[in-house]
Amino acid sequence: MGSHASPAAAARRRPGERRAPGGPDAQRVMDAIRAIVQRLRISSRTCERQLGLSSAQLFVLQQLEQAAAASVAELARRTLTHQSSVSVVVTRLSERGLVSRRPSAEDARRTEIALTPAGRALLRRAPRTVQAELVAAVDHMPPAERRALARSLSALARAIGAGVEAPPLFFEGEEARPAAEAGAGVPDGREET
């Protein structure tokens, strides 16, 4: 009832050393998740510093640059997120004068969302978001690989108790948290770049 490791692997371990959970595949998964989250976080900090926007807000602006949205629901589909998350972002962008909202000429119950001249001007100096890169990378995956990734990531999210509620856009709202809540003053072992 011992370890399932090969005799050679067991011989390389020091006495009392425990086998890494999940082995090399788990290490690759954790490294990939850490790399993606780090890339998203650095992009978010850079966006905040350079433009005064969250990277989620910039991602929504970039979607609107391609075409105005006939509704919040349409914009949610285009950003691959939940309608309530996009609605919060659109409200923030509207308050800053970067997007306009007006009742649809075809259906007064719907709100059309479009860039303002100030929003277009900001986009001229904005970098591409990591969210856009992720969407493009997932879109270019072979369909079977994309479905397998979706199943695996969904299972992982459920296993850790995530995914019960509609998740917001990446890091949206974190820049507004009070410093104490955000962990200010607690070193995380990394330096900002």
CATH number of 24-162: 1.10.10.10
Instruction: Report how far residue 183's alpha carbon sits from residue 124's, in angstroms, rounded to the nearest whole number.
Output: 33
Q: How far apart are CA 149 and CA 159, in angstroms?
A: 15
In this prediction, residues 135-148 reach a mean pLDDT of 95
Is residue 173 very low, low, confident or very high in pLDDT (cuts 50, 70, 90)?
A: low
Give tens-digit pLDDT for 44-74: 899 899 999 989 999 999 999 999 999 899 9
Kindly list the domain boundaries of the chain, sorted by start residue.
24-162
Using 50, 70 and 90 to split pLDDT, how confident is the model at 152? Answer: very high
Residues 18-42 have pLDDT tens digits of: 666 777 888 899 999 999 999 999 9
Residues of the chain with pLDDT > 70: what percent? 78
- Above 50 in pLDDT, residue 93? yes
Q: What's the predicted TM-score (pTM) here? A: 0.72
Interatomic CA distance for residues 92 and 86, integer angstroms: 10
How many other CB atoms are there within 10 angstroms of residue 3's CB atom? 11
- Neighbouring residues of 69: CB distance < 8 A, sequence distance ≥ 6: 63, 75, 78, 112, 113, 114
| Distances in whole angstroms, Cα of residue 109 to Cα of each of 67, 77, 87, 88, 158 | 20, 18, 15, 18, 35
- Is the pLDDT reported for residue 184 higher than 90? no
Phi and psi (nearest 5°) for 23? 65, -160
